[in-house]
Amino acid sequence: MSRWLDGNFVSVVDGVAFGLLLFTIAVGLSLVFGMMDVLNLAHGTLYLAGAYVAYALSDGTVTGLLLALLAGVLVGTAGGAALTFLTQPLAHRGHLDQAVLTLGITFIVADLLAAAFGGDVLPTDPPTALRGTVGLLGHSYPVYRLVFIAVAAGLALLVYLVFERSSLGALVRATVADRDMVRALGVDIRKVLYGVFAAGAALATAGGVLGAPILGPGPGVDETVLVLSLVVVVVGGLGSVRGALAGALLIGQVQTLGVALLPEYAPFLLFGTMLLVLVVRPQGLVAPAVRA
């Protein structure tokens, strides 16, 4: 057992890092779709935009990273608001129309980003202070990924507290459960919608800023991220923070520990896991909290 742990410990830790990265990205997709019923296929693009912000603003200092984080959150908030505005008219026309619209937006934005930043992959280095490796049970592990685990875990806790434990979260869930009742209480439903969308988008761009040293910006990253997020949302269950977390951590381990143990099955592990979960628990690991 201890030998097994020794050989795979780094993969387990990295699975947590990767899982938490997937969580910060996917939770927005899950909330917006699960609660607001808007299918946003531009979600991967929000991550990519955040990663480019990190590339543009990172100067090797922690201050640079924090500035990038602030800028990324602003970009995400604006992007989320813009996406709400654009998808609003399609609210009653089903998911396919939303998918087509948001996918079209991804192509336009991806082309604009490629025009601005070129076709090369531009990975971002973490701040100088957070570079290098530390020993974990005799194996080396990048310092930045440990820092990322701490920050993303804090973020996950914050999101959980806001959406599932605060009165603000209660308002959001009430809006989903019974719009008319909430409207009758004098709440502007559109504000809730804009708020959830902007928060989800800001989380994705923040994930892009912090995740850039792990999943750096470049053409095609938006699609990779979107597909991974969709898998996380399906596996975890729609519309709940805990579901997104459970799905993301599971997929994180599948993509690291699973691949380390079964490298020859690597191409099938991701979708194999999704298939398995869909067969055993079609509603996802954590059933949707509020939607009837």
Partner 1 sequence: MAGRIRPVGLVAASTALLLATACGGASLGTGEDERSGPVKIGLLVPRSGTYKALGDDMKQGFELYVARHGGKLGGREVEIVVADEGETADSGKAAAEKLVKQDRVIAVSGVVSSATINGVKDLFETGKVPLVGSNASPTTLTGTEYIWRTSYVNDEPGKALGTYVAERAGGPVFLIAAGYQAGKDEVEGFKSTFLPAGGKVAGREVYTPFPGTKNFQPYLAQIEKSGARAVFCFYAGGAAVDFVKQYRDFGLADKIPLYAPGFLTEGGVLKGQGDAADGILTALNYSADLDNAANKEFAPAYTAAYGSAPTTYAMASWDAAQVLDKAVKAAGSTVTSESVNKAIAQVGDIDSPRGTWRFNGGGTPVQPWYLREVKQGANTVSSELVRLGG
Identify the residue among 42, 192, 210, 215 touching partner 1 (CB under 8 A).
215
73 vs 228, beta carbon nearer partner 1: 228
Q: In angstroms, how far is CA 91 from the centroid of its own chain?
A: 23
Contacts 24+ apart (CB under 8 A), 157-163: 159/27, 159/203, 159/241, 160/241, 160/242, 160/245, 163/31, 163/241
Identify the residue among 31, 42, 196, 221 touching partner 1 (CB under 8 A).
221
Q: Provide the minimum distance between the beta carbon of 74 and partner 1 in the complex, in angstroms, as a whole number.
A: 26
54 vs 73, beta carbon nearer partner 1: 54
Footprint (CB under 8 A) of partner 1, residues 58-117: 91-92, 94-96, 99-100, 103, 107, 111, 114
Q: Provide the minimum distance between the beta carbon of 225 and partner 1 in the complex, in angstroms, as a whole number.
A: 9
HSE of 212, CA atoms in CB hemisphere, 13 A: 30
169 vs 219, beta carbon nearer partner 1: 219
Identify the residue among 105, 203, 244, 259 touching partner 1 (CB under 8 A).
259
Q: Provide the minimum distance between the beta carbon of 126 and partner 1 in the complex, in angstroms, as a whole number.
A: 9
110 vs 206, beta carbon nearer partner 1: 110
Judged by CB under 8 A, does residue 125 bind partner 1? yes
Judged by CB under 8 A, does residue 291 bind partner 1? yes
Footprint (CB under 8 A) of partner 1, residues 152-211: none
Q: Kindly write out the interface string for residues 2-21 of this chain, putting x where it contacts partner 1 by CB under 8 A and - elsewhere.
A: -----xx-xx--x---x---
Please name which of 173, 78, 66 lies closest in space to residue 130, comparing C-alpha atoms: 66
Judged by CB under 8 A, does residue 280 bind partner 1? no
Residue 122 CB-density burial (10 A; 0-12 exposed, 13-18 middle, 19+ buried): middle
Please name which of 33, 41, 42 lies closest in space to residue 243, comparing C-alpha atoms: 33
Say which residues have a Cβ less than 8 Å from residue 249's Cβ, sequence separation at least 6. 15, 16, 19, 20, 23
Which spans in the chain are helix H?
Answer: 2-36, 43-57, 62-87, 94-117, 143-165, 167-177, 179-184, 189-211, 221-236, 241-253, 259-261, 266-280
Q: Provide the minimum distance between the beta carbon of 167 and partner 1 in the complex, in angstroms, as a whole number.
A: 26
Q: Which residues pair with 142 in a beta bridge?
A: 133
Say which residues have a Cβ less than 8 Å from residue 213's Cβ, sequence separation at least 6. 54, 123, 124, 125, 126, 144, 148
Q: Provide the minimum distance between the beta carbon of 233 and partner 1 in the complex, in angstroms, as a whole number.
A: 7
Q: Which residues pair with 140 in a beta bridge?
A: 135
Q: Give me the residues that bind partner 1 (CB under 8 A), please.
A: 7-8, 10-11, 14, 18, 33-34, 37, 39, 41, 91-92, 94-96, 99-100, 103, 107, 111, 114, 118-123, 125, 133, 139-142, 144-145, 214-216, 218-221, 223-224, 226-227, 230-231, 233-234, 238, 255-260, 263-264, 266-267, 274, 278, 282, 284, 288, 291
